[in-house]
Amino acid sequence: MPAPFPFELLGPPDPLTLPLPAAERPAEGVRLLRGVPYHIPAGQRPLELDVWLPAEAAGPLPVVVYVHGGAWRGGHRSDMGPLVRDLEPFARLARAGFAVVCPDYRLSGEEVFPAQLDDLARLTPWLAARSAELGADPARTVLWGASAGGHLAALAALGATGAFGDPAPEVLGCVVWYGPADLTALADDFPPGRFDPADPATFEALLLGAAPADVPALARAASPALRVTGGAPPFLVLHGADDSLVPVEQGRRLAAALRAQGVPVDFREIPGADHLWVGLTAEATADCFDASLAFVRSVTSGAAPTA
C-alpha cells in the first residue's frame, strides 16, 4: 500500500524561518523589508509586517513597534495618519537609528477582542528569532500607537495578554497618540447623548463583539486605564484638547491611572487639536512627532523618566 499522504505539508510555512524579502530603498539612508509574514492564524490570512532599517547600522538597533489606528476596523500598517505622512515618519525613525516594525493585526471585522493582543504577542517570538538577521535588539523595544493602535499598544505595554495567554512583549516605554483608555467611561467623557454604551454598532462594540454595557467585564479588560500596575514602563501620552472622536478625558484617565501607580508619564494636552491632529499647523504636528521621537530616544538610551 502507498504511504499515507503527509498532510502536514499542507500546513502554512513557519514565519520564524521563512527567508526575509530583499530590501527596498524607499528613501535615502533607509532599507525597507515589506510584507514579511510574522503570524498565520489558523484558517485566516497571513499577518504581515514592514521593517524599516537604517541603510547602514553599526550594532543591534533598538526597536520601535508601531501599531496603526483605524477604529480597530480599518487602517494600514504603513500609515501613521494623513497629517503625518509628509514627515516620512518611519524613514525618519530608521535614519535616527531604530528598527521600526509595523505589524498587521486582525481587525474587528475578522475577529473580536482580544485577538488583536494575540497578534501583537506573536511579535515577541518573531523578533527573537529574526533579531540577528535584522540587526535588532528586542530587549530595547518601545511601543507606539495612534488612536485604536494607541489603545492596543498601551494594553500590550501594560502586560495585557490575549485569549491564549501569549506573553505580551516586554517594552521599555509606550507612546500613545489620542487613544481610547477606558471603554467603560466613554458615555461620561463624551458630551451628553454622543455615546450610548448599549449601542451594538459603535466601533467599541464591534471590537468587543457586543455593546460595552452588555459585556462589562470584557470592556474593563479592554481598558488600559484599568489595567495599570506599578510595574508598567514609562508612557508618553499626547491627546488633542479638542478631540471629537476620542475625548481628551480618555487621555487624562490613562495619565491619572499611571501616576496613581507611580509610573512615569508625560501627558500633553495639545491645544487646538482634534483627532489625527486635525486643526494643527504642519509645524505643530511635527512637534508632536519630534516629542515622541525624543521620548523613544530617552527610554532606549537608558534614561529614567520621572513620574
Q: Which three cell numbers stand for residue 255?
A: 495619565
Whether 39 sits among the annotated catalytic residues: the reply is no
Taking the C-alpha atoms of residue 37 and residue 161, their distance in angstroms, rounded to an integer, is 21
Whether 78 sits among the annotated catalytic residues: the reply is no
Whether 243 sits among the annotated catalytic residues: the reply is yes
**Residue of 39, 68, 151, 275 marked catalytic:** 275
Q: Which three cell numbers stand for residue 233?
A: 514602563
**Residue of 108, 147, 292, 298 marked catalytic:** 147
What SS3 class is residue 65?
strand
Taking the C-alpha atoms of residue 289 and residue 275, their distance in angstroms, rounded to an integer, is 15
Q: Strand 47-54 vs strand 30-39: parallel, antiparallel, or unpaired? A: antiparallel
Q: Residue 21 CB: number of other CB atoms within 10 A? A: 13
What kind and span of H or E run contains 260?
helix 248-260
Q: Kindly give the residue spans of alpha helices, DSSP state H, lying in 190-231.
A: 203-208, 216-221
In terms of Cα–Cα distance, which of 70, 97, 154, 89 is closest to 120? 154
The percent of the chain in helix, strand and coil, each rounded to the nearest 5, is 35, 20, 50
Q: Do 75 and 151 contact (CB within 8 A), yes or no?
A: no
Query: What separation in angstroms does the CA of 123 have from each of 29, 137, 162?
Result: 25, 13, 13
**Residue of 166, 243, 292, 298 marked catalytic:** 243
Taking the C-alpha atoms of residue 97 and residue 297, their distance in angstroms, rounded to an integer, is 9
Largest separation between any pair of C-alpha atoms in the chain: 76
Return the active site residues: 147, 243, 275
